[in-house]
A = this chain, B = another copy of it.
Amino acid sequence: MARKNAFYAQSGGVTSVINASACGLIETARQHKQQIGKVYAGNNGIIGALREELIDTSKETASTIAALRHTPAGAFGSCRYKLKSLEQNRAEYERLIEVFKAHNIGYFFYNGGGDSADTCLKVSQLSQELGYPIQAIHIPKTVDNDLPFTDNCPGFGSVAKYVAVSTREAGLDVASMCATSTKVFILEVMGRHAGWIAAAGALACTQDGDPPHIILFPEVAFNRERFLRKVKGSVKKYGYCVVVASEGVINPDGSFLADAGTVDAFGHKQLGGVAPALATLIRDELGYKYHWALADYLQRAARHIASATDVEQAYAVGKAALEYALEGKNAVMVTIERGKGKKYRWSLGEAPLAEVANVEQKMPRNYISRDGMGITDACREYLSPLIGGEDYPPYKNGVPQYARLKKVLVAKKLKKGFKLK
Asked whether B79 lies within 8 Å of A180 as measured between CB atoms, the reply is: yes
Give 16 new A-B contacts, CB below 8 A, not counting A72-B172, A203-B399, A304-B305. A14-B177, A73-B172, A73-B176, A79-B179, A166-B298, A168-B400, A169-B302, A170-B296, A172-B301, A172-B402, A203-B397, A204-B399, A293-B297, A384-B398, A387-B399, A390-B392
A180 to B78, CA, bound (A): 8
Asked whether B180 lies within 8 Å of A47 as measured between CB atoms, the reply is: yes
Question: Does A295 have its Cβ within 8 Å of any Cβ on chain B?
Answer: yes
Closest B-chain residue to A74, C-beta based? B176
Query: Inside 8 A of A179's CB, which chain B residues have their CB?
Result: 44-45, 47, 77, 79
Question: Does A161 have its Cβ within 8 Å of any Cβ on chain B?
Answer: yes
Given contact pairs A13-B177, A164-B399, A297-B291, A304 touches B75 in the complex (Cβ within 8 A): no
How far is the CB of A1 from the nearest CB of chain B, in Å? 35
Given contact pairs A74-B176, A161-B398, A176-B74, A169 touches B294 in the complex (Cβ within 8 A): no
Given contact pairs A265-B180, A297-B291, A305-B305, A399 touches B165 in the complex (Cβ within 8 A): yes
A293 to B169, CA, bound (A): 18
Question: Does A183 have its Cβ within 8 Å of any Cβ on chain B?
Answer: no
Query: Inside 8 A of A296's CB, which chain B residues have their CB?
Result: 170, 291-293
Asked whether A170 lies within 8 Å of B398 as measured between CB atoms, the reply is: no
Query: Inside 8 A of A389's CB, which chain B residues have their CB?
Result: 398
Question: Does A388 have its Cβ within 8 Å of any Cβ on chain B?
Answer: yes
State the oligomeric state as a number of copies. Answer: 2
Query: Inside 8 A of A297's CB, which chain B residues have their CB?
Result: 169-170, 173-174, 185, 291, 293
Asked whether B169 lies within 8 Å of A73 as measured between CB atoms, the reply is: yes
Encoded as 1 (CB less than 8 Å from any B CB) or 0, chain A from 339 to 371 comes to: 000000000000000000000000000000000
Q: List 18 A-B contacts (CB under 8 A).
A: A10-B176, A45-B180, A77-B175, A77-B176, A80-B181, A81-B180, A161-B398, A164-B398, A165-B399, A169-B298, A169-B304, A170-B296, A172-B301, A174-B297, A180-B265, A207-B404, A295-B298, A389-B398
A398 to B387, CA, bound (A): 5
Instruction: Enumerate chain A interface residues (CB-CB to B < 8 A).
Output: 10, 13-14, 16, 44-45, 47, 71-81, 161, 164-166, 168-170, 172-177, 179-181, 185, 187, 203-204, 206-207, 264-265, 289, 291-298, 300-305, 307, 384, 387-390, 392, 395, 397-400, 402, 404
A72 to B170, CA, bound (A): 9
How far is the CB of A42 from the nearest CB of chain B, in Å? 10
A301 to B392, CA, bound (A): 19
Asked whether A177 lies within 8 Å of B80 as measured between CB atoms, the reply is: yes
Query: Inside 8 A of A181's CB, which chain B residues have their CB?
Result: 79-80, 264-265
Query: Inside 8 A of A185's CB, which chain B residues have their CB?
Result: 297
How far is the CB of A79 from the nearest CB of chain B, in Å? 4
Given contact pairs A77-B179, A161-B398, A173 touches B14 in the complex (Cβ within 8 A): yes
Asked whether B294 lies within 8 Å of A292 as measured between CB atoms, the reply is: yes
Q: Tell me which of B14, B44, B298, B300 contacts A180 (CB under 8 A).
A: B44
